[in-house]
Amino acid sequence: MRKRDSDHNGRWVVPALFLLVFLTHGLSPIGTSSDSRWTVPLALSLLRERNTDLDEYHRDLKAHRFQGIQCVGPDKQVREPSPAEGCPPGGRAYYSYPIGTPVVAAPVLLALDAALRLAGPAALSLAGNRLTPAMRCFFERRYTECFALAELVIASFVIATAAVVVFLTARLYLSVRLAMLLAVLFAYATPAYSTGSRALWQHGPAMLMLALALYLLARGRERPSLNPWSAVPLVLAFFIRPLAAVWLVVAVFYLWSTRRAQLRQWVSLGVLTSTPFVLHNWLVYGTLLQPYYLRQQFLPFSTASAPNFLSALAGHLSSPSRGLLIFSPVLAFSLVGMVLAVKRGWAAPLPRYLMAGLAAHWLVISWFADWPAGHCYGPRYFTEATPVFLFFLIPWLQARPKPAWVAAAFVALSLWSGLVHFRGAAHWDVYLWNADPRGASPEHAWDWKDPQFLRGLVNP
């Protein structure tokens, strides 16, 4: 790891980076609240009611025909609500999706509400009639009415924080200038921009947790006492998004192989972090995990599924509407960085475990029956793994010398990646790709005549 500059050069970068990402992401016009519809009401319920049911929002639930809601009866059996009337007598309404995202959003919403209590009246007075109805609703702190805008603001805060963590991780190895470059690439040239900050989906908070865990493990090579603390964000990531189980397993194997004496502390911190979630699930559902964790549909484990699995493997990387290397081709240099890391023993042995984690993540998402990931933009299933891909740009940026044409290719692919994800954050046309009669089917995802990122430019 490189030594810190003695004059602490670059401290200004952290607040500047946070504000840049928070403001640009928050002001980008596209908001994609859908499955995340009840995240803000549940965060409010945690803060105000100290519980996780949504019964106090019955009128709103009914207006949305109870979509995204499950009913839990006194017998702890989970039932689907009636679209017209909701839960049967004695049943309580709960959000169908994991509770982790509302838990992460709650303290951000609390701080945001405190700020609006102070600044909101002045902003309303100064802006007058220039505010849109949604913005006026937001400044008046009516979050359940303008939930989509509240989601966008909180999600932008989460991604801005993740960008700072990516910068701090890169700063362990790179100069301020190159670390800033890496953080900017994360914020604008990856799904962090087009997916992570567009709504309070699971992806943004999970991405932040994985970035935090990676930072702790990277620093833990010199300060081993930090390694066990990686359990906290990784366990939170699991209760945000089940797919994070891949990274929990990677961390266990890494510590068991390299820091076995610290594994007991890691497990203890993981158990402490998981206890409130497990206790909540037991009290509400009578199970250790929410029903959502058993909902994912996988391909049958048979030779007949092999063509679909292979198509998904290739599609997640190179399909025109879901391929990671199509939407963020700059990450091709991460693959070069992986080779350099192994060849030079850079940051060993951590990169080998992270590479195994990326491979496992790729295999799992290719095993999903619906690999094109539904109504979304680009490589959604790879979103939370983005900080790990950025980590492998570090050895490539460190490598000297670089031919001029290679540097030019890096700049060109960075700009292309930024443009593609800007379209996902600023243009509705690209989302109409999902409304095509073929929908987000594998056939449509592989159609090179209709790439999603070109909708509105080529195909009206």
Tell me, what DSSP letter sits at residue 93?
E
Query: Where does residue 94 fall: left (phi above 0), alpha (psi -120 to 50 degrees), or beta otherwise?
Result: beta
Report the C-alpha gap between 246 and 252 in whole angstroms: 10
Q: Are 198 and 423 in contact (CB under 8 A)?
A: no
Report the C-alpha gap between 369 and 35 in whole angstroms: 19
Predicted local confidence at residue 127, as pLDDT? 87
Structure tokens at 353: 């475990």
Print burial letters for 1-28: b (CB count within 10 Å at least 16), e (below 16).
eeeeeeeeebeebbeebbebbbebbbeb
Q: How many CB atoms neighbour CB 457 within 10 A?
A: 12
Extents of the domains making up the chain: 13-21+149-454, 53-98
Q: How many CB atoms neighbour CB 301 within 10 A?
A: 8
- The model's pTM is 0.95
Report the C-alpha gap between 147 and 444 in whole angstroms: 31
CA dihedral 415, 420, 421, 426 (to 10 degrees): 110
Q: Is the dihedral of CA 318, 322, 327, 331 positive or negative?
A: negative
Among candidates 235, 239, 241, 222, which has minimal Cα distance to 266? 235
Predicted local confidence at residue 66, as pLDDT? 97
CA–CA distances in Å: residue 324 to residues 73, 123, 131, 369, 421? 42, 40, 37, 18, 11
Close Cβ partners of 202 (under 8 Å, ≥ 6 residues apart): 97, 98, 100, 101, 240, 241, 384
- Cα Rg of the chain, angstroms: 22
3-class DSSP state of 391: helix
Among candidates 434, 214, 404, 230, which has minimal Cα distance to 322? 434
- How far is it between the farthest Cα atoms of the chain? 71
pLDDT averaged over consecutive 10-residue blocks of the chain (460 residues)? 50 94 97 96 97 96 96 96 95 97 98 95 89 93 96 98 98 96 98 98 97 98 96 98 98 95 96 98 96 90 94 98 98 98 96 98 96 96 98 95 94 98 97 93 95 86
Report the C-alpha gap between 359 and 197 in whole angstroms: 25
CA dihedral 194, 199, 202, 206 (to 10 degrees): 60
Cis amide bond preceding 349, omega within 30: yes
Q: Are 338 and 355 in contact (CB under 8 A)?
A: yes
Concatenated DSSP letters of 114-176: HHHHHHHHHHHHHHGGGS-HHHHHHHTT-TTTTHHHHHHHHHHHHHHHHHHHHHHHHHTTS-H
Q: Are 286 and 78 in contact (CB under 8 A)?
A: no
Q: Is the dihedral of CA 21, 440, 358, 237 positive or negative?
A: positive
Among candidates 102, 410, 67, 44, which has minimal Cα distance to 276? 102
Q: Give the number of C-alpha atoms closer than 13 A to the C-alpha of residue 189, restricted to the C-beta side.
A: 24
Q: Give the number of C-alpha atoms closer than 13 A to the C-alpha of residue 342, restricted to the C-beta side.
A: 10
